[in-house]
Amino acid sequence: MQPAKRPREESVRDDELYSLPIDVPLCPTQRETLNRVISSLDPKSSVVITNPQLPDNPIVYVTMPWERMCGFSYAEAMGRNPRLTQGEQSDKSAMRQIAGALTQQRACKVMMLNYRSGRDDRPFWNMLSISPVLHRGKLEFYIANLQDYTYHISKLVSRSPSQFCRSAEIHQCTRRLPSRKASLRLLAQPTPIETDDEFDVHLSPTAAAAAAALEGGSLSMKRLGWSQLSLDPEHLTERVLDCLETMGARYELVGGTADVDDVFVVNAELDGVAARVIVTRDPANEGSYRISCSRLGGDTFAYHEIFREMRRLLGDALDGAVSLMGARPGAVSDIAKRGGASGGLRLAPLPPPPPLVSG
């Protein structure tokens, strides 16, 4: 397919969406479906839409933020596969897992090293959420939401960043196309999207029940932590592990839970204190996440000292957070930026757990 002319008109500003070019090869149903999807997008979102009905799943639509993030114009990207941003250090295993998920028409979440304009000297860390777009249950498109995580990855102190592809069961519960502009946080949660309002779908459940079970069955139990976090749970978990490793803690990322839900459980031990850290969806705020910490054993004062040090090390990952103990929004981040006592935390670390990878 010949690339379409870049559909930028003088009336289109950088905070607006492109119109769908008339020369994009689509059947009438696909064109109607795609126009509905485009009308639901937030112009600030970095989004690419592909057509799996054509060979090699070519790009049929991008937003302006995608152009800036990936270094290709709409005209340059049109008709090409999204692999155009992959390069030498893009993880081959994650790439195979993406291909496998798309073959099975499954939604997936990806962290991968990509390259602007396909150039090896312009890498960036991409948190990618890929969702099938359905019409009456039939696959029509894939929509991918991109987030540049380069800055957040740079905050890792003791751990090397991992590339992964997750296709958890929580990502396979269909939701409807929103009637208004989809929020950036909603786009970051991959799941099949049904565009026909009359078609019966199995709507996505909340993760609150799973989180409650892991936390002992009661969300009212007194615990430390933060809610209303905007970073993705995979990266928040990576930051928690990085904090624990930096402090010299023994820790274990409990396997299995994240395969079915956005729930990541870390058991840790430091200075005779045993604790559990859970990263999960925030049941009170759609599109947000939370970190909760529970003491399983050991001295209470030592536990609070460890918690303060973890808060300091998490730093701006807690921007905009609300303490589970009721602090005002932003208060946790302000305290974190001022720092906290380390108290000479000591304990030789165990070998780190496997990278955060799930197929």
The domains located in the chain, with CATH, are: 28-194 (3.30.450.20), 208-338 (3.30.310.80)
**Interval 270-283 mean pLDDT:** 94
CA atoms within 13 A on the CB side of 22: 0
Supply 196's token pair: 């026909």
| Partner residues linked to 267 by β-bridges | 252, 276
Helix (H) or strand (E) holding 273: strand 273-281
Per cent of the chain over pLDDT 70 is 79
DSSP-derived pairing of the beta strands 224-229 and 289-297: antiparallel
pLDDT digits (tens, 9 = 90+) for 147-160: 999 999 999 999 99
Residue pair 36/26 in contact (Cβ under 8 Å)? The answer is no
- Does the structure show a pLDDT above 90 at 161? yes
- Does the structure show a pLDDT above 70 at 171? yes
Residue pair 48/77 in contact (Cβ under 8 Å)? The answer is yes
- Distance, CA of 318 to CA of 324 (rounded, Å): 12
* DSSP 8-state code for residue 17: P
Helices (H), 248-292: none
- Does the structure show a pLDDT above 60 at 203? no
pLDDT at 334 (0 to 100): 37
pLDDT at 359 (0 to 100): 35
pTM over 0.75: yes
Nearest alpha carbon to residue 106 among 139, 147, 82: 139
pLDDT at 16 (0 to 100): 82
248 or 340, higher pLDDT: 248
- Does the structure show a pLDDT above 60 at 226? yes
pLDDT at 90 (0 to 100): 97
